[in-house]
Amino acid sequence: MNIALIAHDKKKQTMINFTLAYKHVLEKHHLFATGTTGKLISEETGLSIHRFLSGPFGGDQQIGAMIANNDMDMVIFFRDPLTAQPHEPDVSALVRLCDVHQIPLATNLSSAEIFIHGLEQGSLDWRKIIKEKKGRK
């Protein structure tokens, strides 16, 4: 499955800790991330990650394009709800795309852990079925 990993600045350490804890699950999937988050995760975990631009420079939109094309299966986006984000319209657009295209979206550690356990148990295999019917991998 294709999984996007995104984290606002104050949530990057939480993302690193999450990916370290669930490396055994994540390493079985194709990982994508916005620039800085991807760099930090890769350095700390050794996971292979396709890095897009940083969020404020279009990385959120690049991931959004994958969602719109049904090429993203899950988004884990650790948002910082207490800090104003200069690119908030991009963040809102990404969340909206996940809702429109039925892409599972975790916005905090608790929901991300539920998703990872579901992924590990095969509860998200419905995404594979949808892609196979549309002739995608």
Known catalytic residues are 60
In DSSP notation, 44-96 reads HH---EEE---GGGTHHHHHHHHHHTT---EEEEE--TTS--TTHHHHHHHHH
66 contacts 93 by C-beta, under 8 angstroms: no
CA gap 26, 68 in Å, rounded: 23
Structure tokens at 46: 């050794």
Cα-based distances in Å from 30 to 69, 96, 116: 16, 23, 14
Tell me the two tokens of residue 50.
């396709």
